[in-house]
Amino acid sequence: MKWTTEDIPSFVAEKQYIDTALVPLLPINFDNSIKQSAAMAEFITVMAAEIERQFHGRMLLTPPFTYLSEEGVQASKERLEHWQQQMKGAEIKHIIFLTADSEWKKVENELDEMLIWMPLVPFENMDSEYKKQIISEQIKQLLPLVVNKWKENP
Amino acid sequence: MVSEKNHNVSRRQFLTYTLTGVGGFMAAGMILPMARFAIDPVLQSAGAGDMNAVADVSELTEEPQRFDFSYEQVDGWYTSEVTETAWIYQEGDNITALSPTCTHLGCTVNWNSNESYQNQFFCPCHGGRFEKNGTNVPGTPPTEPLHKYEIEVRDGTVYLGKANPQI
């Protein structure tokens, strides 16, 4: 389910089936790494949309969690935990964080939820056929991770 | 110089003709667009351009195979490229193309992806299952069969249109 007026009513109506939230984590920079920040946003947005398409009926794709890199990963993590509490309060059982920012790897153990870190694939100058192929290859690797998470803890 | 009396058309007639002519054009200019709007739905083409080339007939097997195809979708002022998937198989001369969208809540189903359920479509979200022809297996969450694409075969190429419910 996407965060749109079209999908949210079905999320509310079918809540007992939709127990997973997918949260993209996007770093924001205005200094030299602004370009990388944009590339990450582009890449993760496409990936998240594709995962949502596969698991439309059980997954809610939330708006991205954005943070300034300068803020420091500890501070971002605290804010993210707040999101997490809110979602748990809304009876969402599984939360999946999707990011290309390697900072999160440092605090992965402190997060209670699943973190999927994907190395950034820059889409610039890539022709669309090749791009599609890359995306579908990546997605193929990701799907079992999600399905296993459900299996372990249904 | 010819005198006025010798004219075949009198001043009165000339004015009448001219005014009728101009008036006629003006009336037509107003009425035709209105008529065009009124009967517009009749004139709309059947949309043969909505079919997308997806696969070659030679690629098809009795086993459903996954084919992706994409087309441009215009939504208001925004054009985006939409990718869709179809599971296509051929039995004898019959070609069937099923939509992979689970009829329960819309996850994407896969053929033969669960060892416990051979030769069925399986939905990873809530365990919905469908037979090869798309019929939903009773006792699983989906309540209707997988949707079926409109199919057209031209020169050995399979074209798909919209996906419609089977019931």
The DSSP-derived string for B102-167 is -TTT--B-EET-STTSTTSEE-TTT--EE-TTSPBPTTSS--SPPPEEEEEEETTEEEEEEEE---
Instruction: Tally C-beta pairs within 8 A across A and B.
Output: 44
Amino acid present at B2: V
pLDDT tens string A69-83: 998 999 999 999 999
pLDDT at A96 over 60: yes
Nearest CA in chain A to B103: A57
> For an interface test with A, which of B102, B105, B110, B113 has the most A Cβ atoms less than 10 Å from its Cβ?
B105
Instruction: Give the position of tokens 């969208």.
Output: B101
The stretches in chain B having pLDDT less than 70 are: 1-7, 43-49
Look at residue A88 in the predicted model and tell me its pLDDT.
92
Fold entry, domain B48-164: Rieske Iron-sulfur Protein (2.102.10)
For residue B112, give how far its alpha carbon lies from the nearest alpha carbon of chain A (Å).
Answer: 15
pLDDT tens string A105-140: 999 999 888 999 999 988 888 888 888 888 888 988
For strands B78-91 and B94-98, give the pairing: antiparallel
- Whether A96 contacts A84, CB under 8 Å: no
On average, the pLDDT of chain A sits at 91
Contact A54 B108 (CB under 8 A): yes
Name, in order, each residue with C-beta under 8 angstroms of B157's C-beta and a sequence gap of 6 or more.
B53, B55, B56, B57
Look at residue B117 in the predicted model and tell me its pLDDT.
85
Nearest CA in chain B to A129: B70
Name, in order, each residue with C-beta under 8 angstroms of A61's C-beta and a sequence gap of 6 or more.
A1, A2, A3, A21, A22, A24, A48, A49, A51, A52
> For an interface test with A, which of B82, B104, B125, B143 has the most A Cβ atoms less than 10 Å from its Cβ?
B125
Q: Locate the domains of chain B by residue range.
A: 4-42, 48-164
Calculate ∠ Cα B50-B54-B59, nearest 5°. Answer: 155
For residue B29, give how far its alpha carbon lies from the nearest alpha carbon of chain A (Å).
Answer: 43
For strands B129-130 and B121-122, give the pairing: antiparallel
Mean pLDDT of A21-47: 93
Mean pLDDT of A53-65: 93
Instruction: Give the position of tokens 């007992």.
Output: A16
Nearest CA in chain B to A13: B105
Look at residue B19 in the predicted model and tell me its pLDDT.
95
- Residues of chain A contacting B141 with CB distance shorter than 8 Å: 17
Whole-number Å distance between alpha carbons of A37 and A28:
6
Choose between B40 and A3: higher pLDDT. Answer: A3
Look at residue A66 in the predicted model and tell me its pLDDT.
96
Look at residue A118 in the predicted model and tell me its pLDDT.
92
**Residues on chain A bordering chain B, Cβ-to-Cβ distance under 8 angstroms:** 10, 14, 17-18, 53-59, 128, 132, 136, 143, 146-147, 150
Look at residue B3 in the predicted model and tell me its pLDDT.
54
Contact B108 A55 (CB under 8 A): yes
Amino acid present at B60: L
- Residues of chain B contacting A18 with CB distance shorter than 8 Å: 105
CATH class assigned to A8-152: alpha beta
Mean pLDDT of A31-47: 92
Look at residue B4 in the predicted model and tell me its pLDDT.
56
